[in-house]
Amino acid sequence: MADDVVSHAFSHGFHPEHTVRLAAYLTEALGGPLTYSDTCGDETSVVQMHSGNGPHEEMDRRAIACFDQALEDVGLAGDDRLRQVAASIDLGGSVTSVAVRRVDGVVAAATVGSGIAILDPDGTEIARVAQGMKVVGSVTWAADGSFLLASAPTGATVWAVDGLEPVRSLDAGPGSILPVALSVDGSRIALGWDHHVGLWSADEAVDGATIEGLPKGVYGLSFSHDARLLAAAAADGRVRAWSVT
């Protein structure tokens, strides 16, 4: 927070336990105990917490430089395993969202200006999709790993795993698309954007539905396990839930 550029992210205040929580997050990310996941949230919640602020590539570069210096300061700079992980995050643009495919650990990493990188669990890039999209907001895999869903400022695209070809487009109204959500069984898709939440069925013959009149910022979406309930977190500090049966 002492850095002139990175400190801008904290100019509007921050959690009183930020340092402790960050330490727990980094410790877990580097193979330590699951303290962060057990007490604070999962990786998806971290991504959503830091989404919706627009591109900030200079700040990203400075933050990486500060992290690199921190490794030097605590005597971990010579650890080759840490260097390998740190190097793997350079994907050609700011990373806006990541998702891990449960069935095999393959990672989808969405970027600003460089599409979506598909990475093996060891960090090797195996494919790159959506390179025509200037900004990819959120990515998520189907629970069975059969398709990838990604949002952009005007809607969302579904890619089939076989060949990573786009197989469906979901059009939304103007505004910033932030969160996406998939039901566990893959039968329902939800998108959030300015003042709206859109809901679609995996069955393309079924018309989609739109919920209007929400605050401008819709920051998070989640289905219940049985896909009968959809919850949305919004900028006004409220969580709304709808029956979607």
pLDDT in tens, 185-213: 888 999 888 788 889 988 787 888 888 88
Q: What is the mean pLDDT of the chain?
A: 81
For position 243, what pLDDT does the model report? Answer: 92
Which of 155-161's residues contact partners 24+ apart within 8 Å by CB, and which partners?
A: 155/191, 156/180, 156/189, 156/191, 157/130, 158/189, 159/129
- Pairwise CA distance, residues 136 & 128, whole Å: 13
pLDDT of 98 above 80: yes
Q: Do the beta carbons of residue 230 and residue 219 sit within 8 Å?
A: no
Q: Do the beta carbons of residue 184 and residue 223 sit within 8 Å?
A: yes
Compute the CA torsion angle 207, 199, 164, 141 (nearest 10 deg). -150
* Residue, of 18 and 121, whose pLDDT is higher: 18
The domain ranges of the chain are 1-90
Q: What is the secondary structure of 200-236 as a DSSP string?
A: EESSTTSPPEEE----S-EEEEEE-TTSSEEEEEETT
Mean pLDDT for the stretch of residues 103-120: 87
pLDDT in tens, 73-84: 887 767 666 655
pLDDT of 230 above 90: yes
Residue 229 pLDDT level (bands cut at 50, 70, 90):
very high
Residue 231 pLDDT level (bands cut at 50, 70, 90):
very high
User: Which of 153-157, 171-175, 230-234 has the weakest average pLDDT?
Assistant: 171-175
- Pairwise CA distance, residues 99 & 107, whole Å: 6
pLDDT in tens, 133-171: 777 878 889 888 889 998 887 788 899 988 888 999 888
**Nearest of 56, 77, 50, 53 to residue 6 by alpha carbon:** 56
pLDDT in tens, 31-87: 678 888 888 876 666 766 776 666 677 887 888 788 778 878 887 767 666 655 555
Question: pTM, whole model, 2 decimals?
Answer: 0.61
Structure tokens at 28: 């877990």
- Pairwise CA distance, residues 59 & 231, whole Å: 32
158-177 b/e (C-beta count within 10 Å ≥ 16 → b): bbebeebeeeeebebeebbb
* Residue, of 103 and 20, whose pLDDT is higher: 20
